[in-house]
Amino acid sequence: MFIAGNWKMNTDVRSAVALAAAICERVAPSTKTHVAVCPPYISLDAVGRAIRASASPVKLGAQDMHFEQDGAFTGAISGAMLASVGCSYVILGHSERRQFFGETDASVNRKTLKAPANGLIPIVCIGETLTEREAEREEEVVGTQVRAALDGVSLTSADQLVLAYEPVWAIGTGRTASPEQAQAIHAFIRSLLVEQFGEGLGRAIHILYGGSMKPSNAPELLGQKDVDGGLIGGAALKADDFLGIVAAAEAVSR
């Protein structure tokens, strides 16, 4: 299981460090679940220091990166910069990046190919809108996104890649895909991973659910065969809620 917190554009440096410290304090070294927090850029260094000081197994992640290593890209952050502050993961292609910042399947692919060069594990996001879901096009949309994002990607280990299915209609809306809906799409994504990477790797890659997971619905969602964790938004901003989801993942892993 893998639980990652996407803090989005929330917290300042002080509150980010406090939140990270509260999470690290209660994630034991013996925890089987992989745990990561992804604060805003300005807090990455400070949160990374807090994580290292706690000797916690919690990992640091970023919310995006540019596909170039350096250059005249005002306001952008490179993978090398993220690695320099201790990031292990980077979220790529989040629906909000696609919706508000013009992210495309092609740019997600370039970033996905670039991340490993900096020692970063990409958390590649895919998912359909409400209009696409109501038109029963979710497999068509998700399939296109997965194939495009992973074009040219090769793996030697399943832990070099994470996918996150986030039904856009269930992000920040309070709506959640039913466990059955989540499992159906996760199983479809799994089939695409097996098709590209083979049975062994394809079945071992983590596929996270990223649509309004919270402590109350986490056990049922995480209990689905192909749901390997969660990319958590709102619930990641409260230590108790986030840790409740981690606890649910732990229970499923036993």
Provide the greatest CA pair distance for the chain: 50
201 sits in the region (left: phi over 0; alpha: psi -120 to 50; else beta) called: alpha
Question: Which one of the listed residues 94, 128, 132, 138 is annotated catalytic?
Answer: 94
Is residue 165 a contact partner of residue 205, using CB atoms and an 8 Å limit? no
Q: What is the DSSP letter of 209?
A: E
Element housing 246 (H / E): helix 239-253
94 is catalytic: yes
- The Cα–Cα gap between 208 and 39 comes to 18
- The Cα–Cα gap between 108 and 62 comes to 15
| Helix boundaries (H) for 27-122 | 44-54, 79-84, 95-101, 105-114
Question: Which one of the listed residues 132, 166, 186, 206 is annotated catalytic?
Answer: 166
186 is catalytic: no
CA geometry: angle 22, 95, 251, nearest 5 deg: 40
Give residues with Cβ within 8 angstroms of 85, minimum separation 6. Answer: 44, 45, 48, 60
Is residue 90 a contact partner of residue 115, using CB atoms and an 8 Å limit? yes
Q: Just list the catalytic residues.
A: 94, 166
